[in-house]
């Protein structure tokens, strides 16, 4: 179909209506073929290509499931309290307050205000990282020859800049991120041991404990030793649910976690939120 004219370009564009690509959002999300929740509760359904990014604002109580479809996704995650971007994921406090550098089921993702942004309710991967952050332009240029967003090997921080801009945020608003599905362990001598992935189909589910802005970059982990830029699709599904409340085992799992939930509840109560 000729696209030299405006009419030709229009007809070509309209001819793509209804075309499905492997990696794209499903709109409306309810059209997702196999939802993991009650009918009508799905609010976000997307497959993110390797070397790409996505973002969304999620309401308190929403559950977010990330799935490594082929075994080489790496979901780098940032969270912000919606409408208060100065309250954001603090990886150092997430590790320090909970006495645990390794993410997994039952862990909380904390802000520097001592409040819970999200909780990890399920995890079948166990290969995550709270120590290294995401890849950078300089590092990817050294390793792969380019790290710009439009290149075949975009860096995670460069993609985060784009996602941040679409939510009114600046590069200075980008703190260190968490990485899901590609892990590291610390050896006795203090060096890093890259553990790779758990394989295709591994998943992790987060529960939003406040209204949050979510930024995700699906790019290789910076400690991945492979010479090639390897990044495969990431499935992102989110659905309406309920936040963690008193009486939930997660609320009282540790004294530190209970205090973080109490801090969150106290703040929300002052805003008239339950």
Residue 18 pLDDT = 81
Q: Is residue 158 within 8 Å of residue 134, measured between CB atoms?
A: no
Question: Is the predicted pLDDT of residue 137 greater than 90, yes or no?
Answer: yes
Question: Is the predicted pLDDT of residue 267 greater than 90, yes or no?
Answer: yes
Question: Is the predicted pLDDT of residue 23 greater than 80, yes or no?
Answer: yes
Q: Is residue 265 within 8 Å of residue 207, measured between CB atoms?
A: no
In which element (H, E) is residue 58 found?
Answer: strand 52-58
Q: Which of 35-39, 176-180, 232-236, 251-255 has the lowest mean pLDDT?
A: 35-39
List, in sequence order, every residue forming a beta bridge with 236; answer none if it has no partner.
46, 66
Residue 150 pLDDT = 96
* 172-220 tens-digit pLDDT: 999 999 999 999 999 999 899 999 999 999 999 999 999 999 999 999 9
Q: How far apart are CA 111 and CA 107, in angstroms?
A: 13
What mean pLDDT, rounded, does the chain reach? 95
**How many other C-beta atoms can be found within 10 angstroms of the C-beta atom of residue 127?**
26
Please compute the mean of the pLDDT values over residues 57-77 and round it to a whole number. Answer: 98
Residue-wise burial string across 190-220, b where 16 or more C-beta atoms lie within 10 A, e elsewhere:
eeeebbbbbeeebbbbbbbbbbbbbbbbbbb
CA 71 vs CA 16, 180, 269: distances in Å:
30, 12, 42
Residue 1 pLDDT = 59
At residue 3, what are phi and psi to the nearest 5 degrees?
-125, 15
Q: Which long-range contacts (CB under 8 A, 24 or more apart) does 133-140 make?
A: 133/76, 133/91, 133/176, 133/177, 133/179, 133/222, 134/76, 134/160, 134/177, 134/179, 134/217, 134/219, 134/222, 135/219, 135/220, 135/221, 135/222, 136/222, 139/222, 140/229
Q: How far apart are CA 259 and CA 265, in angstroms?
A: 10
Question: Is the predicted pLDDT of residue 51 greater than 90, yes or no?
Answer: yes
The model carries a pTM of 0.95
In which element (H, E) is residue 103 found?
Answer: none
């Amino acid at each position: 179909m000729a696209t030299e004219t405006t009419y030709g370009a229009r007809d070509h564009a309209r001819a793509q209506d209804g075309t499905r690509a492997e990696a794209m959002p499903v709109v409306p999300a309810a059209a997702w073929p196999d939802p993991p929740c009650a009918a009508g509760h799905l609010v976000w359904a997307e497959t993110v290509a390797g070397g790409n990014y996505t973002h969304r604002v999620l309401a308190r109580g929403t559950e977010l499931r990330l799935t490594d479809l082929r075994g080489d996704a790496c979901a780098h995650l940032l969270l912000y309290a919606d409408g208060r971007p100065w309250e954001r994921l603090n990886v150092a406090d997430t590790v320090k307050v909970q006495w645990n550098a390794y993410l997994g089921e039952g862990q909380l993702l904390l802000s520097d205000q001592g409040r819970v942004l999200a909780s990890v309710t399920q995890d079948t991967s166990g290969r995550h990282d709270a120590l290294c952050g995401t890849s950078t332009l300089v590092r990817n240029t050294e390793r792969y020859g380019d790290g710009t967003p439009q290149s075949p090997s975009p860096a995670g921080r460069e993609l985060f800049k784009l996602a941040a801009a679409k939510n009114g945020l600046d590069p200075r608003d980008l703190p260190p991120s968490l990485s899901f599905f590609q892990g590291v362990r610390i050896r006795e001598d203090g060096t890093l041991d890259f553990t790779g992935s758990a394989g295709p189909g591994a998943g992790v589910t987060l529960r939003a404990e406040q209204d949050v802005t979510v930024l995700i970059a699906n790019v290789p982990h910076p400690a991945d030793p492979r010479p090639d830029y390897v990044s495969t699709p990431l499935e992102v599904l989110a659905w309406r649910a309920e936040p963690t409340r008193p009486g939930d085992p997660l609320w009282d799992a540790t004294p530190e976690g209970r205090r973080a939930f109490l801090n969150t509840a106290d703040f929300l109560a002052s805003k008239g939120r339950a």
